[in-house]
A and B are shown apart, each in its own frame.
Chain A
Amino acid sequence: DTAVSQTPKYLVTQMGNDKSIKCEQNLGHDTMYWYKQDSKKFLKIMFSYNNKELIINETVPNRFSPKSPDKAHLNLHINSLELGDSAVYFCASSLRSGAGANVLTFGAGSRLTVL
């Protein structure tokens, strides 16, 4: 009964490849997020979607394209992978508004290694 699940947990790939990370939540939340945690453990928001609508798009290269087929899923597709993309990517979800909007439930993370 994992609340926020992301796959794969580990991903090792070559530079230039295209890869996807999937995320699903069963909490009934309206809003989902992608965060990037770099090698120094710095956590930074990349995107947020509210009921399939893009809300936040931080200064992320357009090689990163989120896709939300429905409000329970938010996938991250990365084109032309670069060495600097190596990181742990966290999916999260929350309520859309009110006091619960800032209480994020995180997935376990997907560690991407680009060789």
Chain B
Amino acid sequence: AQRVTQPEKLLSVFKGAPVELKCNYSYSGSPELFWYVQYSRQRLQLLLRHISRESIKGFTADLNKGETSFHLKKPFAQEEDSAMYYCALSGLPLETSGSRLTFGEGTQLTVNP
């Protein structure tokens, strides 16, 4: 079974401070991990995925298979980063099944001025 845990429901930091949103997963196979973000009054959208190994809006996330974690990090938080962040996991997609994303419970990040 797939499971994603985001231990922090709420996270508040000051502008310019580093931020780390934690994500741990449970999956017996080879997972693909994602971070989705929902800004206020906007749609849920993909932020980044581990296979891309890229930085989006200053955020990075490294898949640590030993610790089964995929924490999202940004060295200097900005007020516009305030949003709801969801970590998501998918087993390797089958040819005909589309996606089976399992989302974590979400972390509401607030960046204070």
Contacts and interface: CB of A to CB of B under 8 A. Distances in A.
B106 A97 contact: no
A103 B88 CA distance: 11
A101 to B, nearest CB: 4
Contact of B45 (A55, A56, A106): A106
A50 to B, nearest CB: 5
B100 A56 contact: yes
Interface stretch (B14-22, B64-72, B73-81, B91-99): B91-99
Interface residues of B, number: 27
Nearest to A103: B46
Contacts of A99: 51
A103 B49 CA distance: 9
B25 interface: no
Contacts of A43: 44, 86, 103, 106
Contacts of B88: 102
A50 B100 CA distance: 12
B44 A50 contact: no
Given A45-B100, A90-B44, A106-B44, A101 B106 contact: no
B101 interface: yes
B106 A102 contact: no
B105 A42 contact: yes
User: Nearest 9 pairs between A and B by C-beta?
Assistant: A31-B98, A101-B93, A106-B44, A43-B103, A102-B99, A102-B90, A101-B99, A106-B43, A41-B106
